[in-house]
Chains A and B, each alone.
Chain A
């Protein structure tokens, strides 16, 4: 009976792992090394800007160890969601590190890269033809919003990775990719059932996150067979328990029992988790329900403006006791002054007072917006250019500093600024502009593979 052994180097390529953990996993025997490099968790900025998440030297260190072990043993390496957002510049960034490592270490192998960035015209055509469907609460996605966006990626399933492995690639670098598909692609190619492969993938994709007590990012290994899989951390200081593995199945997933993937849904309702020895867990009993249509998730980011901020503290109890009125009246004075100075009308920019100590963390969802003895203000200015946002900041700082309250006669200074100058340029602001799926006739269709011999 076919068995496939997988190791996840880490939950994220940019956070790292102890070298000894991966070396031990390889010594125990594995058939491939996987690592997820991306997520939408850190917001739309990476996708919108095209910048990868580093540090580059850290990513290079992690890739060096993974590739060294792979070259030694002749096993494949699969990287998903390259450069954090998986767009074309993110993929190129990751490939440049891999080519550098190949030259520096005289490694020779076949490299496959899979591009998941989708041309706006392609997406607009798919939208016109009715192949794009919204999921849950979605921003409107039409031809105009598609063309206005910065960048789109489609999240590939297992098939493009399998095609690269079948083409003899030893290192596969995928653009935006399902985290689970990184680990499910090769086992399914080797005869493991989708139910076992996808569930094992869900546990592996976060590295050592499914151990009982994770102290730092670390590796995780699993052995998959016909009936289930057994998962255990290679680091002997860590252990998995049935509860820790079961609990991880529901992490970051709105529905704890159904994980929707391209091509079908993993149903873990009847999954069983049993301890094997002191550190390993055996998982059986999940099912995979194939979908009637093959869909991939679309992610996109649109530029909405440029941000500058001013940070200030308020401690005066008389200002604090009517803070909402104070900020509302300050806001209307600011609108007038900004128009006088810059000829900008209120719709052309936004000023948002983020009040830490009241509702800065939860915003409108804060059930008890009470104020203590002080608050921290982040005055958040977004305008159509960085220059305009930066120009608004001194108006905000000066007006806010001296904005009067009824209890005091004479010039007052309300805001404690920790920094000089007060305004800090934060850069472009993006927003996610798609929560949609794209129906494909060919699961590999939009994903262009390139092979190179290094």
Chain B
């Protein structure tokens, strides 16, 4: 079973405004995209468990034409809050990188 990073050319996270995080998972080819989509690795339930957010707050988009999966979740604390750990939200994709597909 490959790890997610082996199938992709880019996995990134970033703020989508100060209250949300968004992950872009761009696959090397459509084949990998389809396999990953079918595996259900990024179902709202799985993402919710991994990040400790409510499943109904997880948004998942499958963009077939650019072989990309996009996942958006709320932040636990807004960007720059006294307890925030990542102002730009640039490292939150990390737990996804080595997921087995």
Contacts and interface: CB of A to CB of B under 8 A. Distances in A.
Interface in B78-101: 78-88, 91-92, 94-95
A122 interface: no
B78 A432 contact: yes
A138 B50 CA distance: 23
Given A137-B19, A361-B85, A247 B66 contact: yes
A67 to B, nearest CB: 30
A137 B74 contact: yes
A235 interface: no
Most buried by B among A305, A362, A429: A362
B85 A362 contact: yes
Contacts of B63: 250, 256-257
Contacts of B91: 361-362
A138 B74 CA distance: 11
B83 A363 contact: yes
B89 to A, nearest CB: 8
Contacts of B92: 362, 365
Interface string B16-35: 11111010101000000000
Given A43-B87, A435-B19, A252 B76 contact: no
Interface in B24-79: 24, 26, 50-52, 59, 61, 63, 65-66, 68, 70, 72, 74, 76-79
Given A138-B19, A254-B16, A364 B76 contact: yes
Interface residues on B, range: 35 or more
B22 A254 contact: yes
B17 A40 contact: yes
A contact patch SS: loop
Contact of A255 (B15, B65, B72): B72
A254 B65 contact: no
Given A40-B17, A255-B72, A431 B85 contact: no
Given A40-B79, A431-B81, A136 B20 contact: yes
A145 interface: no
B82 A305 contact: yes
Contact of B66 (A243, A305, A362, A382): A243
B24 A250 contact: yes
Given A40-B18, A257-B63, A362-B86, 4 more contacts: A40-B15, A254-B22, A307-B82, A363-B83
